[in-house]
Amino acid sequence: MKPVILAVTILAGIASGQQVAPRRDIQQILSTKVPHYVVKATNLLQAAALIASDFDLPMGVEWHGEPSVTKEITREWDNATVERILYDTASFDVEYQVQVSNGVVHLRKPGLADSPRNPLSIKVPSFSVANVYTGQAAFKLRDEVNLIMLPRQKHAAYACAGSYGAGADETLTTLAVRDVSVREILDTLLTSSHSVMWLVVFRDEQPGTGFLKTQSISRNTTDLEQPDWDFLAHYSDPVTGSYRGDWKIGLRR
């Protein structure tokens, strides 16, 4: 059956009271020429977060192993497009490839992304949220996919409880989709939010069978909470787990 996206409605977050400015088309962002740009990063993951933040470029990253592994990147450009900067940066770690789809730049290892054991490739029969924050929608998606991976009786209907701490500029989202992959739903949640990256970290040690295990960078993920992911705001560093105000010097870097 052909995947069908039924509806996507973006509303302003209550916490901010601001209208959500639509992102530029991803091809417009990629084709933007930059007079001068410098990347200095611990590894490709950190560099990707920097580029995504500077250019409001939505990215979906499937990372394998420890996020803080050191594989330093230092590169400088003059009169280069964002696309050139992106691909040149990715070339520092040849295990990863760049692919653009669904309005999102994907950074991933082909063998990992294409594995039948990758939970992001699971087809979700239906998924919907109404007037919830992106983080709440992401948690609900995790719960729904977990039920597919580990079938069991659903004890109670999902509800967005008041314990979720929304960021000051988070947006409310209404979404209904059918017969799409987990990866595609993450893409849609990302492009309809203020976040710049969804990140799934696959553990170094994996079981011999079953779906690949993931680990959040912001909380301890148990085997019963699989799969897990994080949505990163502008200038959030997935390597140090901190907000990087120093990155905001941007093109003057």
| Predicted model pTM | 0.86
pLDDT at 247 (0 to 100): 87
How many CB atoms are closer than 10 A to CB 223?
A: 9
How many residues can be counted in the chain?
A: 253
Residues of the chain under the 70 pLDDT cut = 1-21, 152-169, 249-253
CB 116 within 8 A of CB 65: no
Number of H helices, E strands in the chain: 6, 12
Domain boundaries, the chain: 4-14+122-194+209-236
Give the per-residue pLDDT at 8. 35
- CB 75 within 8 Å of CB 121: no
For position 42, what pLDDT does the model report? 97
Distances from the Cα of 156 to the Cα of 67, 143, 146, 159, 164, angstroms: 35, 12, 14, 9, 18
Specify the pLDDT at position 167: 56
Handedness of CA 137, 138, 139, 143 (dihedral sign): positive
- What confidence score (pLDDT) does residue 169 get? 58
